[in-house]
Amino acid sequence: MNIRPEPLVARFFEHFGRPPEHVVCSPGRVNLIGEHTDYNNGFVLPMAIDRAVWLAAAGRDEGRVRVHSLDRRESAEFVLTDLRRENAGWIEYFKGVAWCLSAEGTPAGNGPDFCGGTPDEPNAPAPAARMGPSPSPALRGFDAVLTGDVPIGAGLSSSAALEMAAARLFAALGDRPWDPVPAALVCQKAENRWVGVNCGIMDQLACGCGRAGHALRIDCRSLEMEHVPLPADTAVVVLDTATRRGLADSAYNERRRQCHTAAEQLGVPPLRDADLAQLERLADTLDATACRRARHVISENARTLEAVDVMRRGNAAALGVLMNHSHASLRDDYEVSSPELDAMAACARAHPACFGARMTGAGFGGCAIALIDAAAAKPFTAATAAAYRRETGLDPAIYVTRPSAGTEAARVADR
């Protein structure tokens, strides 16, 4: 299992004075291609990575949740029967998952439809600040220690990793079977309706359903998935620009509204159902911004399906070209790149070991990724970091990553 070593168990005992019952690991993710297509019911190609959120936890007999963050050196708690949305930072992700599970009355892993099944509309309201008593007694309180090494705000889905870890823990404490797909729908709803970020389903599914050595092709309408192997002898390098964006306060929600507008003007339910020929016919009647947003989504869906095909054939060079085209579309049509992301992608492509590079995640800062010849990982990372420092004056974090398994749990006694 991709579970952190025993020191996490020891830290739980130090803090709470008793041994934990479960350890949970939930990975972050990078998206190889297919950006801003998930909430348009399109196609995405993410992979879970070997950076993760870890929880060590033990149940409580009364419905109180207490979590101590080792990385932040702070604690937070709440009561399951009196959930209050207080904008209190990281603990709100636990509350949101608890609220969604309780409001639906079904614990994680007990059926595919208990969280609504489809993404919320772009302007879905946040819940009331105080939710009141939970209608379901299924959730069990717990004590937990939390740690992780998924960079915050870098576009690697630290929030989805935390949400999926919470859902996995609630399932483990309730002795419920685990199904990551309905759990991902729970966590998406928690982020949409409790946290207030109108994300699609990609991040949670990627964190929950990853497989070692593979990316995950997701049809975000049907939730049909396919594990696709990375081309042989390649590596994915995460290129952290050392810049950050606040996702809930960024233009992410604005882009989602613009896609909704573009779909209405094209006469399709989501942009997934439009094509470039249709867009060209109606371009003169569309708002110029909506037209650019639609062009990105439509072309990005096509690139993603083509990427799956070239990966099946092991064609790393063709995959790299598609990644480069994706970055240009995100920069020019979707306008979610940044000078630092553009500089990082250019620095990566300048190295002969690089097949292609693009921004990943919501944009406006955070990370890019590069597909490279694995044998040249060390010289690539050194040269790219040096070039980026010269270009921007910023000190990047660059690390080679591998596709990893999805969210997991283990009983401490079984380790």
pLDDT tens digit sequence for 278-325:
999 999 988 899 999 999 999 999 999 999 999 999 999 999 999 999
Q: Which of 108-112, 157-161, 374-378 has the lowest mean pLDDT?
A: 108-112
pLDDT band of residue 414 (cuts 50, 70, 90) is low
Residues near 257 by Cβ (< 8 Å), separated by ≥ 6?
122, 123
**pLDDT of 352 strictly over 90:** yes
pLDDT band of residue 333 (cuts 50, 70, 90) is very high
DSSP 3-state helix, strand, coil percentages of the chain (rounded to 5)?
40, 25, 35
What's residue 5's pLDDT? 57
pTM reported for the whole predicted model: 0.87
Summarize the confidence of residues 24-31 as an average pLDDT: 95
Summarize the confidence of residues 197-218 as an average pLDDT: 93
Question: What is d(CA 99, CA 190) in angstroms, rounded to the nearest whole number?
Answer: 7
pLDDT band of residue 102 (cuts 50, 70, 90) is confident
DSSP 6-40: THHHHHHHHHHSS--SEEEEEEEEEEEE--S-GGG
**pLDDT of 213 strictly over 70:** yes
**pLDDT of 126 strictly over 50:** no
Domains of the chain with bracketed CATH: 7-227+406-414 (3.30.230.10), 230-401 (3.30.70.890)
The catalytic residues are 203
Residues near 67 by Cβ (< 8 Å), separated by ≥ 6?
75, 76, 77, 91, 94, 143, 144, 145, 146
